[in-house]
A and B are shown apart, each in its own frame.
Chain A
């Protein structure tokens, strides 16, 4: 595994341990100001079967996250108005959005800061589509499992 990636969801988590088929249409909110990166993220995520919403600043990201309740939020740190780490902290501090898995995807080498902000995963730019999709799949798998675990017993 490349050193630009770490996981905080479970000690032995590996990108390649679980390759679940993507939940068709699962919503991903992408926070990115660079149109070239936006284009790549939209392309690869949609190719993999996800539904993608794009915003280019942190304040819009928070508003859209509350509105859309995506499964995953992917954010650059360097975005206008509210940086990606502040977005992450706000999401994790709010009851109604804390379930959203946050992937910090940044040009900065900021694994530690992302971890402190409560991010579920970190990837360093530039975009490697296999790593991005692998990370999203693993996050999604854990998201679904957490949802299942939270359901009252007998409702399965």
Chain B
């Protein structure tokens, strides 16, 4: 079946290619969720020069207001308004009653012959109907009219799908897309979810999105790729870039594997990760540092303190720094940014610093475990070798560590520790897991000097 694009590639993917042509769809969500913006984005996505898009406003969205705000959006090609995109108001017939409303909608459809018709807000019409039977008949009548003609219809409304299952407009609709907005303390999280899409498959679950002048930016929920066939797994070994560590893991790390670097604050996790990336840059493997803790300034200072040139090292093609403030981040948005760089910029080494911040952002530990598994599987498929840092005082608590889902997901685990011996701080490193490699499990001193880290 033919599809109608939403104007957003990621959302089209979630919908299996777009909304079905000729279908009736509800775009639901609370005030401020971005329903009108999505409808407008969709309207401008229609190819110019064909049958128009008819945008019908009701009471909650006065026409003047819609047009005023529309002009601030990047995708709004205002020259097309009046030609490809026609705006009309239903406020007057709405005041006269349901018969007048149906007649007006029908007359506008016959007059303009639209390929897409948007009614914003449809729920505002329902709210004006005193009698539920009259409203049901009105919805059936409108749905039958739309179904007879080759027009794809969007009803916009402040519906909460979970609590509105009995509503006639949701029952009649072929597709329901809900925009959800959640206030989680310091952050305003937005998710979209397909609740129904007759005649089509779709990506289920909640997908993060954010709003901007460019419209909706959607981050499809990270999904696990199909596993590689046995012969596809790389056997090449790479140096982690820390002197002495190669020898502890059969001459290096297998390409495409993920290594968990766990230890308390100050034990050298980020430092080891930077060595890993620097070694990649030296061998022509572009690196990506996904930073959730150090700001760009702090990172530069850290790099300079090792005697390395931050200007030389910290740039795309060598080590790109992808900084995300923990208060603004969404895990699927980060995955999208990382995997885009892997695919488009041939990034081959990734350092995620740190997982704890990602876990907090995910909220739900099951979701986090699935997410990390999916992310590391994507890395494996792309031959990307990754270091993932995890903070915690784990020296005496290896049991706890090994039972954490995150530990089961990684191929290798390096455990860092710190202790005081004769008033001197001693750091140690132990390889507690190296899947597919023989490894030395003995605890070894980790020296950190002005020249960097060395295992002795």
Binding site for B on A (CB under 8 A): 2, 34, 36-37, 39-40, 43, 125-130
A127 to B144, CA, bound (A): 12
Contact A43–B110 (Cβ < 8 Å): yes
Contacts of A127 in B (CB 8 A): 148-150
Contact with A along B80-122 (1 / 0, CB 8 A): 0000000000000000000000000010001001000000000
Known: A126-B22, A129-B113. A40 touches B149 (CB 8 A): yes
Say whether B110 contacts A126, CB under 8 Å.
no
Bound-complex Cα distance A36 to B141 (A): 9
Chain A's nearest CB lies how many Å from the CB of B51?
Answer: 8
Is A126's CB under 8 angstroms from B148's CB?
yes
| Given A40-B110, A126-B22, A126-B150, 12 further pairs, Cβ under 8 A | A34-B148, A36-B145, A36-B148, A37-B148, A39-B106, A40-B149, A43-B110, A125-B148, A126-B151, A127-B150, A128-B150, A129-B149
Residues of chain A within 8 A of B145, CB atoms compared: 36, 39
Once the chains bind, are B147 and A36 in contact (CB under 8 Å)?
yes
> In the assembled complex, which residues on chain A have CB atoms less than 8 Å from the CB atom of B147?
36, 126
Closest to B106 in A: A39
| Separation of A4 and B149 alpha carbons in the complex (Å) | 14
Q: List 27 A-B contacts (CB under 8 A).
A: A2-B2, A34-B144, A34-B148, A36-B144, A36-B145, A36-B147, A36-B148, A37-B148, A39-B106, A39-B145, A40-B110, A40-B148, A40-B149, A43-B110, A125-B148, A126-B22, A126-B147, A126-B148, A126-B149, A126-B150, A127-B148, A127-B149, A127-B150, A128-B150, A129-B113, A129-B149, A130-B51
B133-174: contact bitstring with A at CB < 8 Å (1 yes, 0 no)?
000000000001101111100000000000000000000000
**Which 8 residue pairs spanning A and B have beta carbons closest together?**
A128-B150, A36-B148, A37-B148, A126-B150, A36-B144, A36-B145, A126-B22, A127-B149
> Whole-angstrom distance from the CB of A2 to the nearest CB of chain B?
8
Complex CA gap A126/B147 in Å reads 7
CA distance A129 to B149 in the complex (A): 8
In the bound assembly, the distance between CA atoms of A39 and B145 in angstroms comes to: 9
Cα distance A125–B146 when bound, in Å?
12
Residues of B194-234 at the interface with A, using a CB-CB cut-off of 8 Å, are none
A43 to B149, CA, bound (A): 12
Residues of A within 8 A of B110 (CB): 40, 43
Residues of B within 8 A of A126 (CB): 22, 147-151
Closest A residue to B142 by beta carbon equals A36
A145 to nearest B CB, angstroms? 29
Task: A36 to B142: give the CA distance in the assembly, Å.
Answer: 10
**A120 and B384 alpha carbons, distance in the complex (Å):** 60
Q: Which residue of A lies closest to B143 (CB)?
A: A36
A28 CB to closest chain B CB (Å) equals 17
Complex Cα distance, B107 from A40, in Å, reads 11
By beta carbon, the residue of chain B nearest A3 is B2
- The residue in chain B whose Cβ has the minimal distance to the Cβ of A41 is B148
Bound CA–CA A22/B31 (angstroms): 51
Considering only CB atoms, which chain B residue lies closest to A132 in the complex?
B150
Residues of chain B lying within 8 A (CB to CB) of residue A128: 150
Contacts of B106 in A (CB 8 A): 39
Taken together as a complex, chains A and B put the C-alpha atoms of A24 and B51 apart, in Å, by 26
**Most-contacted residue by chain B among A34, A126, A127 (CB, 10 A):** A126
- Shortest Cβ distance from B113 into A: residue: A129
CA distance A130 to B106 in the complex (A): 18
Assembled-state Cα–Cα distance A129/B109 (Å): 12
**Which residues does chain B contribute within 8 Å of A125, judged by CB atoms?**
148
Q: Which positions 367-391 of chain B face chain A at CB distance < 8 Å?
A: none
Most buried by A among B51, B147, B150, B151: B150
Cβ of B112 to closest chain A Cβ, rounded Å: 11
**How far is it, in angstroms, between the C-alpha of A2 and the C-alpha of B22 when the chains are bound?**
14
> Residue among B22, B145, B148, B151 with the most chain A CB within 10 A?
B148
Q: Which residues of A contact B22 (CB under 8 A)?
A: 126
A127 to B151, CA, bound (A): 9
Q: Within B61-85, which residues are at the interface with A (CB < 8 Å)? A: none
Residues on A with C-beta less than 8 A from B148 are 34, 36-37, 39-40, 125-127
| B21 nearest in chain A by CB position | A126
In the complex, what residue of chain A is closest to B51 when comparing beta carbons? A130
Instruction: Write the chain B residue with the least CB distance to A107.
Output: B147
Report the Cα distance A2→B51, complex, angstroms: 15
Per the bound structure, the CA–CA distance linking A125 and B149 in Å amounts to 8
Please measure, in the bound complex, the distance between the C-alpha atom of A126 and the C-alpha atom of B110, giving whole angstroms. 14
- Complex alpha-carbon distance, A129 and B111, angstroms: 12
Q: Taking CB as reference atom, which chain B residue is nearest A34?
A: B148
Nearest chain-B residue to A32 (Cβ)?
A: B148
What are the residues of chain B within 8 A of A34 when measuring CB–CB?
144, 148
